[in-house]
Amino acid sequence: DSGVTQTPKHLITATGQRVTLRCSPRSGDLSVYWYQQSLDQGLQFLIHYYNGEERAKGNILERFSAQQFPDLHSELNLSSLELGDSALYFCASSVYDRDTEAFFGQGTRLTVV
């Protein structure tokens, strides 16, 4: 158990809908990262928050947004969902904002039908 908690574990929704994925980082970790993993693309970086502030963005679609709250948990919001958004979404956390390993949660499997 990495100490990073993601909910829900599975999510099935229809195209055009909006969902929210939640991540609780390890105790004491200030950084939260979101990654998307699909079969053909591998793990792709979406966004990084450090202590409530956005630090970096990857190839995150405009339909996707995230935030980190004062208690350091983070939410990833996905809207106007398309079939191609079906993937595993992982959250990772680390202590500092650089040079430390990131620990991953178990992921949320999103299926868009």
Partner 1 sequence: EDQVTQSPEALRLQEGESSSLNCSYTVSGLRGLFWYRQDPGKGPEFLFTLYSAGEEKEKERLKATLTKKESFLHITAPKPEDSATYLCAVQVQGGSEKLVFGKGTKLTVNP
Residues that bind partner 1 (CB under 8 A): 2, 4, 31, 33, 35, 42-45, 48, 50, 55-56, 58, 90, 92, 94, 97-99, 101-107, 109
What minimum distance in Å lies between the beta carbon of 55 and partner 1?
A: 6
Give the pair of three-digit tokens for residue 28.
Answer: 């004491």
Nearer to partner 1, 5 or 20 (CB): 5
Burial class of 47 by CB neighbour count within 10 A (0 to 12, 13 to 18, 19+): buried
**Strand positions, DSSP E, 1-113:** 5-7, 10-13, 19-24, 31-38, 42-50, 53-57, 64-68, 74-78, 87-94, 103-104, 108-112
What minimum distance in Å lies between the beta carbon of 10 and partner 1?
A: 10
Nearer to partner 1, 73 or 103 (CB): 103
Nearer to partner 1, 12 or 43 (CB): 43
